[in-house]
Amino acid sequence: MDVIERVRTAVTGHFDIDAAAVDTASVTFLGLEPIEILRIPGDGVVHFVTVGGSRHPMGDPAALLADPVRGPRAELVLTVRAGAGSGSGVARSLGVLAASPAVEGVVLRPDALLDLGEPIWQAAPFTAVLLGPGEIPEIELPEPADPVRYFAVTPVTATEAAWVRVRGAQALRDAWTEAGIDVLDPGRGAASL
């Protein structure tokens, strides 16, 4: 079963784009297979989509032996407004996040807060991300493998990350809505919390 080919095909099909027309960057970490980041233009937005994080299932970090087939699998998609400019470093940051299950034993799930400890892209005020449900449907794999889920990546500031730790992910989303903050704008300010 070629998980990566299935994922790539499902992603390009979802966005209705020819795979040959997609800009691709590859990020490699010592001891891991490469993770690709696809840059897919949309209607006024750009999608940065990982392919490779789902190659292996995420397992229980406390388990002595990881199940090579069963377990949740995940990929990430960051969507930003086109033309607003998200500087260099996006591919590397998304690669780090997608590799975190293999490197750090993190299990990617909705409402997870992942802290990079550095800007997501050059000069960005965002050093962490909040995961939410993605718009790409689950990608079924042959039994007994679990399907691949895509999570939407929303960049957050250090203050917003602290708010999530204290109040929860939904409280931050409510604050964004109340303040009329466009989380797709890479130049946005932090919510007043």
Distance CA 71, CA 56 (A): 9
Domain span holding position 103: 3-168
Look at residue 191 and tell me if it is in a domain. no
Give residue 8's pLDDT: 94
What global pTM score does this model have? 0.91
Please enumerate in sequence order all residues whose Cβ is within 8 A of that of 56, keeping only pairs 6 or more positions apart, or say none. Answer: 66, 68, 73, 102
State how many domains the chain has.
1
Query: Considering the domain boundaries, does residue 63 fall inside one?
Result: yes
pLDDT at 62: 56
- One DSSP character per residue, 67-132 reads -SS-S-EEEEEEEEETTS---TTHHHHHHHHHHHHHHH-----TT-EEE-SS-SSTT-SEEEEEEE
Asked if residue 188 is part of any domain, the answer here is no
Dihedral (CA of 94, 30, 119, 111) sign: positive
Q: Return per-residue pLDDT of the chain as tens, 193 residues.
A: 588 999 999 999 999 999 888 999 999 887 888 999 999 998 899 999 999 999 889 875 555 556 666 789 999 999 999 765 555 789 999 999 999 998 888 899 999 999 999 999 988 899 999 999 999 999 999 888 899 999 999 999 999 999 999 999 999 999 999 999 999 998 888 777 7
Q: What value, to the nearest 5°, has the Cα angle with vertex 53 and ends 47 and 59?
A: 140
Instruction: Please indicate, yes or no, if residue 155 is contained in any of the structural domains.
Output: yes
Is 48 inside a domain boundary?
yes
Query: How far, CA to CA in Å, does 117 sit from each of 52, 113, 120?
Result: 23, 12, 9
Residue 84 has a pLDDT of 54
Q: Per the domain annotation, does 175 fall within a domain?
A: no
